[in-house]
Every structure is written in structure tokens, then in C-alpha cells.
């Protein structure tokens, strides 16, 4: 509690609270019912997360393991934590006991480790395969072929403690709507194909298509997303210092 008033001065606090609440409401109201809003709280304080929590928000996303675990310790346990960033194999153990969904599975090695750690915690962890859809090559993810290869890998069929719930992708950071649309539409197409082609894999339950961030979530929803990961439009700009 000690830093609470320092970051957001007493008198201003209501205003701070209100803007997170207002932003959240506005976005929630704009989303169709079948779309889950993951509030991306990375770099933002526990206070801000709690503002959103008090508005009824329960799905939160973080991209760093350390930040996620320290926040999860102090935030009510009914929050569903989504790990949305690139995950290193050696850090899986820190989140396996509580994380709700891991969005960025991009290798067999990582999936194996998630399965192993989930088993130790007696849990089944929901996972998404991250597909590389951006034309820029700075972002992580599997190609379409790699994605199907991982999904159908015989080793994966032996994993009892993971469920692959769908796919995740990040579009190119650009104002070119045609391009962003094309990238989202491509991921939706892959999702539908993989759902159709592999209807009977026990560990594959294709119900989640995670695409869309602050700058492009309306387009993503139009193209078939049912889970959007929105940070700055709810919590404001991030300060990485």
C-alpha cells in the first residue's frame, strides 16, 4: 500500500480510477458477447489492475514471467492470468501452478515442458499455438506448416496435461488496414482448416482465436477473433522505465 498514493496523487485518484473504468466499459460495450477481452496489464500497477477488477474484469494478460508471478501473488485468485509473451522453457515452472492460458506456444520443447510442469501441479493448462502472421519478421511464431506439424506431432498426443485451445497471432504494426485484414483473415482460415481437418484429437479443442490489440482489435473481431488482448487502450501508454 505504501506506494499507492505516490503514483496517483490522492485527489487525482478518482480520475485515474475512472479513466481505466471508462476505457474498459467502452471497449467491453463495443465487443460482441462471444469475444473475450484480455486486459493486458504489463508495466501497469496493481492499483490499476484492481480498478479494472472492480469493474468486473477477470481476464488479465502479462508478457513477463517475473512480473506475472509478483502481481498474481497480491491479486485476488479468481483472476484468470494469460501469459501472452514469448515464454522461455526454464521459466515455465514459475507459472504452471496458476496460469490460466499460455498464448505463445511456439515449439515442441516448450509444450513438453508445460505439460511436465502442469502434471506436477496436477493441472491441465490451456495453450494456444502462436502463428507468425506478420509480414515483418520481428515477431515470434510458427509458420502454417510448423503449426500443423506441432499440432499433429505424435509426442503431443501423449501429453495429458495440456489442451491446445486454438491459435494466437499478432499482425504487422502498420496503418495499412488491408494488410492487417489479410493477416488476420489468414489466421482465421488456418484455424478453421485445422479445426476441420483434426476433429478428433483429444488434446485439441479449437475454440479460441486470439488476435487483436489496441490498434487493431476491431478489425480482428471482424475477421473472426474471439479473444482480444488490449493494453494501452484500457490502461494508457506504457512507461518502460
Ligand X SMILES: *Cc1c(COP(=O)(O)O)cnc(C)c1O
Task: State which of residues 20, 27, 40, 128 lies at the interface with ligand X (CB under 6 A).
Answer: 40
* Residue numbers 170-199 binding ligand X by CB under 6 A: 170
Residues 6+ apart with CB under 8 A from 73: none
| Residue that the C-alpha cell 506439424 belongs to | 149
Q: Exposed (0-12), middle (13-18) or buried (19+): which is 48, by Cβ within 10 Å?
A: buried
Long-range contacts of 28-32 (CB under 8 A, 24+ apart): 30/218, 31/221, 31/228, 32/221
Stretch that binds ligand X, among 20-28, 110-118, 184-192, 211-219 (CB under 6 A): 211-219
Closest CB 234 distance from ligand X, rounded Å: 8
Q: Which range in 2-10, 185-193, 195-203, 209-217 contacts ligand X by CB under 6 A? A: 209-217
Determine contact, residues 46/74, Cβ cutoff 8 Å. yes
Report the nearest approach of ligand X to the CB of residue 236 (Å).
9
* Residue 96 vs 220, nearer CB to ligand X: 220
What is the nearest approach in angstroms of ligand X to the Cβ of residue 6? 24
Task: Name the one range near ligand X by CB under 6 A: 23-31, 105-113, 140-148, 212-220.
Answer: 212-220
Q: Using CB under 6 A, pick the residue from 213, 219, 220, 221 that binds ligand X.
A: 213
Go through 124-161 and write b for each residue having 16 or more CB atoms within 10 A of its CB, e for each that does not: ebbbbbbbbbbeeeebebbebebbbebbeeeebeebeb
Chain residues in the site for ligand X (CB under 6 A) = 40, 42, 63, 84-85, 170, 213-215, 229-233
Amino acid at each position: 500500500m505504501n506506494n499507492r498514493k505516490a503514483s496517483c496523487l490522492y485527489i487525482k485518484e478518482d480520475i485515474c480510477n475512472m479513466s481505466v473504468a471508462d476505457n474498459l466499459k467502452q471497449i467491453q460495450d463495443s465487443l460482441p458477447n462471444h469475444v473475450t477481452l484480455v486486459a493486458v496489464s504489463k508495466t501497469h500497477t496493481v492499483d490499476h489492475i484492481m480498478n479494472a477488477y472492480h469493474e468486473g474484469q477477470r481476464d488479465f494478460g502479462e508478457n513477463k514471467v517475473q512480473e506475472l508471478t509478483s502481481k498474481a501473488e497480491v491479486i485476488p485468485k479468481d483472476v484468470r492470468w494469460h501469459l501472452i509473451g514469448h515464454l522461455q522453457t526454464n521459466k515455465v515452472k514459475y507459472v504452471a501452478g496458476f496460469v490460466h492460458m499460455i498464448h505463445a506456444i511456439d515449439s515442441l520443447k516448450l509444450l513438453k515442458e508445460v505439460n511436465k510442469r502442469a502434471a506436477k501441479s496436477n493441472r491441465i493448462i490451456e495453450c494456444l499455438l502462436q502463428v507468425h502472421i506478420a509480414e515483418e519478421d520481428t515477431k515470434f511464431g510458427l509458420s502454417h506448416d510448423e503449426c500443423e506439424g506441432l499440432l499433429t506431432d505424435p509426442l503431443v498426443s501423449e501429453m495429458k496435461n495440456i489442451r491446445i485451445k486454438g491459435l494466437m497471432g499478432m499482425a504487422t504494426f502498420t496503418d495499412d488496414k488491408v494488410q492487417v485484414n489479410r493477416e488476420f483473415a489468414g489466421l482465421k482460415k488456418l484455424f478453421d482448416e485445422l479445426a476441420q481437418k483434426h476433429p478428433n484429437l483429444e488434446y485439441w479443442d479449437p475454440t479460441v482465436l486470439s488476435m487483436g490489440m489496441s490498434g487493431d482489435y476491431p478489425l480482428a473481431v471482424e475477421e473472426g477473433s474471439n479473444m482480444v488482448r488490449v493494453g494501452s487502450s484500457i490502461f494508457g501508454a506504457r512507461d518502460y522505465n
